[in-house]
Amino acid sequence: MGDRLLATSTVEGMPSGHGARRTYEVMIIDSHVHLLPRRVQHDRTPFCRSDSAFGSIYSSSKAKLVSETDILHYMDRYGIEKAIVFGFPWEDPGLVRENNDEIWSFHQKHPERIIPFAVLTSGQREPSLKEAARTLEGGFAGFGELAMYHHGWRLADFEALSPSLQLAQMKRVPVIIHVNEPVGHHYPGKIPVDFRGLLRIIKAHAEVDFILAHFGGGIFVYALMPEVAKILSRTYLDTAASPYLYDPKVFRVAADIMGVDKILFGSDYPLLPLSRYVKQLEEAGIDGDMRERILGRNLADLLKLGKDNDTSGLVLGTDFGRSPSEAVECREDS
């Protein structure tokens, strides 16, 4: 595909006749793509029964599940060069491990395109810490998307993450957290979020680069307060599901408050394709350098992908697969 990719303002899937066709040279990196275990893809029914959080989102056949091939086809169709891919925060630590193993396998098959992030068990401190150590020692590029779909994010849930976040801080890797808006219409996966608890955990891990999904549920508005702006100084916002949630003006408002360098394109694929976000960018009048930053350059800078956005700066391990106990022992000995 070459060093640069072409993103067009009239992309596949957009209504025909939508303005004149214009072409921009933009490297596109998707920060938010889901991949679930193959046996879940084959038959989700037993998992909807055994995991209430998963069932609350995926019990409907309208909730799409995709394969590795589907993800690559999506990336090829829309000219997306790289994507952060992660699983689901299962209640069963064994299923979390299985999901992470398959994410790693996907990365190994396509190391220049798939950036692996490790998901952690919902609300379980010790299993989460063991899996965090195992995956980071194995070479994962970060954690995410971390979520508490059972009852929402409470202060105690954020505090349970603290040991894993300490590992992220030591390894200097980003952490994606599911955050949604506290008001407005209900939808599967929408949860209560303790913003005070969220700010507290971000402040307690000031050297971690946090990525708050779904424009952080609007928490960026509070960055108009100097003390909150200081806490969120290393926090990024991804755009996942924004066409379902926000007016296109959210891009400019968030960029004005947080800085344009803090906005990351994330599709939430298979929920929505790139074309829906390009349409929002056009409606917001976002073009040129700002569009290039949002669609890929900001994330390339965050992950230190190197000159021309190659992967030389993103150091991923090759020894993934060791047991959690071995990973913890390795960490403690270092």
Distance (Å, whole) CA 122 – CA 118: 13
In a domain, 158, yes or no: yes
- Give per-residue pLDDT as tens, 116-168: 999 998 778 899 999 999 999 999 999 999 987 777 667 777 788 899 999 99
In a domain, 18, yes or no: no
In a domain, 167, yes or no: yes
Check residue 151 and give its pLDDT.
Answer: 78
The CATH number linked to 221 is 3.20.20.140
Q: What residues contact 226, with CB distance under 8 A and at least 6 apart?
A: none
Check residue 181 and give its pLDDT.
Answer: 80
Instruction: Report CA-CA distances (Å) from 124 to 10, 127, 159, 203, 215.
Output: 45, 6, 11, 21, 26
Distance (Å, whole) CA 279 – CA 135: 36
Check residue 18 and give its pLDDT.
Answer: 37
**What value does the mean pLDDT of the chain take?**
86
The whole domain housing 309 covers 6-12+24-333
- Please name which of 277, 31, 29 lies closest in space to residue 176, comparing C-alpha atoms: 31
pTM (two decimals):
0.86
Total residue count of the chain as it appears in this document: 334
- Please name which of 67, 61, 5, 75 lies closest in space to residue 37, comparing C-alpha atoms: 67
Check residue 309 and give its pLDDT.
Answer: 46
In a domain, 29, yes or no: yes
Is there a contact between 118 and 82 (Cβ–Cβ < 8 Å)?
Answer: no
In a domain, 17, yes or no: no
In a domain, 99, yes or no: yes
Q: How many CA atoms lie within 13 A of 147 on its CB side?
A: 22
Q: Which two tokens stand for residue 297?
A: 């350059």
- Count of structural domains within the chain: 1
In a domain, 41, yes or no: yes
In a domain, 19, yes or no: no
Strand order in 263-264's β-sheet? 28-34, 80-86, 114-118, 142-146, 175-177, 210-212, 235-238, 263-264
10-residue mean pLDDT series, the chain (334 residues): 39 38 69 98 97 93 96 97 97 96 98 97 88 97 88 75 94 94 77 85 95 96 97 98 96 98 98 96 96 97 73 52 43 39
